[in-house]
Structures are given as structure tokens and as C-alpha cells.
Copies of this chain bind each other. A is one copy, B any other.
Amino acid sequence: MEKSLCKQLAAIVGQEHCLTSPEELACYSYDASGQAFMPEVVLFPDRATQVAAILRLANQHRFPVVARGAGSGMTGGSLPVRGGVVLACSRMNRIVEIDADNMLCVVEPGVITGELQEAVRHHGLMYAPDPASLKFCTIGGNVAECAGGPSAVKYGVTRDSLLGLEVVLPTGEIMRTGVRTEKGVTGYDLTHLFAGSEGTLGIFTRLILRLLPAPEARTTFLLTLDSLSRATGLVAEIIQSGLSPCTLEYMDKTAISVVADRISLPLPKSTEALLLVELDGSKTEVSDQSRRLLRFLADRKISYRQATDDDEIRELWQARRAISPATFAIRPHKISEDVVVPRSRIPELVRFTTELSQRLELTILTFGHAGDGNIHVNIMLDKTDQAELERALKAREELFTRVLKLQGTLSGEHGIGITKSSFLAQELDPTALALMQKIKNLFDPNDILNPGKIFPRQELQTGDD
């Protein structure tokens, strides 16, 4: 990037909000996918008009712009794979409004998810989506990737909490979409087209989000199963029994082992898998649901531990959220997938990953949001071991093929980014894929906003218009 252009960019946001030294740039080059690409400039705009000015300049001079929240994404969505500008949203971090009467809030994209949850809790309200990274990830990134979390089984994913947007289009126009009401069908639903579009269609500058009444009570059960297939088979049974847990998480034996030292509740030696079942709602509702769950467990002779106080609940959650980072104790690298299958097919999926692990001599963990069929599959490896790397890549390929055969989908909440783009065509109808690329081209004719993401590279080159 030419110096004069850098100067123009710095003038938009102010010199003090512009980074260009290699050491500083390096801090904005990576995300949780384990990959890194150096940007040429990092800018910290603090309002929509600055974002618009940056994008207009990008169209004029054809350099890429990539929005970045906390860099906690798992698939490279915020990485500047073609250099250019990283547009960091950390200064646009205001909670603009909490409208408790109408149970909604207006926030800027850089607000940290956990901090929003905390802020609305003071109004007796809840912002439902709870990705594992909620202590540091941001709302803008959550909407861009359509993040999920354990509570999605009851409260839906980020998309379901999104009501409206102020978004800067790749061509630099500032646009408002959506509503401040519970309903709205005036024109096409542009708002939700942006949810999960991985920063390729626009840069959010304000988000209108739905809030819910905070549940009055909560209780957590840890089901200890001595058989993996028993554990996975229970998931659909629990949901069908009329129980409506706000969490139904699953961990296999390897996942348990990496966080075992964080759980003080004693687990039976024979434990092969855990299910974490959380119930929330009014006090009566929670005690009614607890009674039903206990009857369900007694009928099936399933042993459990109940977290009896807030500390125990917190501890279980800390253990659950620590699984992903703690896996690196096993091997230095991993391929981390978040496939989804219909709930009733989870046992088949997990049986398959076990078989895969044995056949390819790899450690493969499975854990995650079993309640909605969203299983995190972590294929552990040492990338410097070429043979192991090849086996791991083969494992991923076979995993995806099987997931699609089970009528599942490649990603429940991490998105496609760069890590899965070469597999996208396996899942999507070619007409749908071509239409998505035409939409991208309509929004971003010069391909300056987060280029190189989602779409398979060769498809981009051979598109017929």
C-alpha cells in the first residue's frame, strides 16, 4: 500500500487510531483458527461515517478491507488473507440504549458479548446467545458468524436475537435495515441476510438486538454415562420427553480427561461420557422440570450429580468452556469442526468418529451442543508430522462426507471462512452456491470487503457472470 494512501486512511480515523508498524500489525494478523495473514494497516474507526469513508477509498484504490472484532473466530473470517486494511471495531463499543420496556437494545459492534449480558441483567433481562468465548468475543463478530452457544437449544442462535442493523455496504453507503419491533415484513429481510455472512456483505456499525426476561432460577445436572452410545442416544430422548433444557451439552471421555482437574464433583471411574443438562425458568418451572428429569433418569437408571450452588454451576461451566483450549495438552494442533446432524443421528456420527479415530490412528474428541445436534469434533495432530497431518486431513474429509450423508450440515456456528471453503460445494446445491456468489457480487462489485472467504476459490474464477 502506497504511503499517500496510508496517509489518507490515517486522516479518516486520526493518526493515533492507525497502526502500521510490523509488531503492531502482527497483533491483528491471526484468529482462533491458528492461521495468520499480515494486514498492511490497522484502522480503528469510531463511527459509521469513518467506516464509509474507508470503504469508499477502498473501492477507488481497490484494496481489501476486513472487519475484526476480538479475533476469536474459528474459521479465519477476520483474517486479511489478501492484505490491505484490518478495520478493528474495538472503539465502536458503546451500548447505545437498553429499552427495557420493549426488551431490546441498540449496541455498537465492538461490545463484548459477556459485558452486554451483564449490562442487561441489571434490568432483569437476558441477552441469550452465549458462545464459549463470551468473555472476549464481540457482538459484531457474533452476528457476522451467526454464533451459537449452549443456550441455542432453547433460545436459538444469534440470528434469532437480531432485529435490525445499521450497516455500511462494501460500496460505502450507510444503510439501516430491520425493525425495533417484534415483527416486521416490509420488503425483503435484508437484516438476516447479513447474519452469518461472515463480514463479506457489509460492516455493522449498530445492531438492534432482542432481549428476553431473565430466568428466575437455574439448575444444572451432570449425567455420568458408562457408555458413549448410551449418552448420545439419550439426547433425542430428553428433548422428546417434553423437557426443554436451556443447555444439553455432551463430552466424550477424552474431552472429560482434558478438563478433569477442573471438576471437583467426583465422577465414577466407569464414566465414558457426560451430559450437562441445565434447566431455567420460573422457580416452579425449574422444579417441575427437575422432577421430570429425575424421573426420566431414575426410569433409565442413569446416575447424575446435581450442582447445588452457584459455585458448582460456575465450575462446571468453566470446565465446559475450557475444553477447546485444554485439548492442546494432547497434541500441539487440531482441526476443529462444528458439524451438525439431526439429533437422532448423533449416535451414528459419534460411532463413526470413534471408528475413524481407530482406523486413522488419531485422537479425535467429540463434545458440544448435542441438544441441537451441533457436535464439536476436534481432530488432534502435530502439523509438523507430515504423515499425521495427511491422516487428519483425510479424517476431516471423511467426517464431512458422513455428516452430509446423515442429512447434516458442515457448520452450526463457526461459519466457513477459509478453513472450509473448499468443502462448501459438497453441501450446497450448485444453483444456491452460484446465487450466493451473485449476491456477493451485487453487494461488493469490486470484491474489496473480506475477499477470499466462504466461496471455493475456483468457483470464484469460473463464475459465468
Please state if A188 and B196 are interface contacts (CB–CB under 8 Å).
yes
Q: Tell me if A257 is interfacial: C-beta within 8 Å of chain B.
A: no
Contact assessment for A454 and B282 in the assembled complex, using a CB-CB cutoff below 8 Å: no
Contact between chains at A183 and B101 (CB < 8 Å): no
Number of copies: 2
Which B residues lie within 8 Å of A236 (CB)? 101-102
The reply to whether the CB of A184 lies closer than 8 angstroms to some CB of chain B is yes
Residues of the B chain whose Cβ atoms lie less than 8 Å from the Cβ of A239: 103, 213
Residue A192 at the chain B interface, CB threshold 8 Å:
yes
Q: In the assembly, what is the distance between CA of A420 and CA of B285, in Å? A: 43
Chain A 195-233 interface 0/1 with B at a Cβ cutoff of 8 Å (1 = within): 111000100000000000100100000000000000000
Identify which of A63-71, A87-95, A376-384, A410-418 touches chain B: A410-418
A431 in the interface (beta carbon within 8 A) = yes
B residues in contact with A160, CB < 8 Å: 160
Question: Could you mark each residue 404-435 of chain A with 1 if its beta carbon is under 8 Å from any beta carbon of chain B, else 0?
Answer: 00011111111110001000100111011101
Binary CB contact string for chain A from 430 to 445 against chain B (1 if under 8 A, 0 otherwise): 0111011011101100
- A191 to chain B minimum Cβ distance, whole angstroms, is 9
Q: Which chain B residues border A341 with CB–CB below 8 Å?
A: 181
- Judge whether A354 is part of the interface by a CB distance below 8 angstroms: no
Residue in chain B with minimal CB distance to A101 = B344
Q: How far is the CA of A429 from the CA of B440 in the complex (A)?
A: 20
The reply to whether A188 and B180 contact each other, CB–CB distance below 8 Å, is no
- Inter-chain contact A183/B374, CB cutoff 8 Å: yes
Is A177 in the interface zone, CB < 8 Å from B? yes
Q: Which of A112-120, A132-140, A151-159, A296-304 contacts B (4 or more CB under 8 A)?
A: A151-159
- Say whether, besides A431-B174, A438-B442, A442-B442, A185 and B146 are in contact (CB < 8 Å): yes
Q: How many residues of A contact B (CB 8 A)?
A: 87
* Alpha-carbon distance A284/B424, docked complex (angstroms): 46
User: Which residues of B are found within 8 Å of A173, using beta-carbon distances?
Assistant: 431
Judge whether B186 and A213 touch: CB under 8 Å.
no
| Across-interface contacts of A152 in B (CB, < 8 A) | 182-183
A373 at the A/B interface (Cβ < 8 Å)? yes
Give residues of chain A (359-405) contacting chain B, Cβ–Cβ below 8 Å: 369, 372-374
Chain A residues 165 to 186 lying within 8 A of chain B, measured CB to CB, are: 169, 173-177, 179-186
* A145 CB–B CB distance under 8 Å: yes
Chain B, residue nearest A152 (CB): B183
In the assembled complex, A148 has its CB within 8 A of some CB on chain B: yes
Closest to A372 in B: B182
Whether A177 lies near B342 (C-beta < 8 A) is no
| Chain B residues near A179 (CB-CB < 8 A) | 340, 409
A320 at the interface (CB under 8 A from B): no
Most buried by B among A184, A187, A454: A187
Q: Is the CB of B182 within 8 A of A343?
A: yes
Q: Shortest distance in angstroms between A459's beta carbon and chain B's nearest beta carbon?
A: 11
Write the nearest CB–CB distance from A345 to chain B, whole angstroms.
8
CA distance A202 to B106 in the complex (A): 33
Q: Which residues of B contact A289 (CB under 8 A)?
A: 282
**Chain B residues within 8 Å of A343, by CB:** 101-103, 182
A-B CB contact pairs (8 Å), 17 listed? A102-B236, A103-B343, A174-B431, A175-B429, A177-B432, A180-B342, A180-B407, A180-B408, A181-B374, A183-B409, A185-B196, A187-B454, A188-B196, A188-B440, A189-B197, A192-B193, A242-B282
Give me 8 other A-B pairs in contact (C-beta within 8 A), A180-B407, A190-B435 excluded: A175-B429, A181-B373, A184-B411, A186-B410, A187-B454, A188-B197, A213-B242, A442-B442
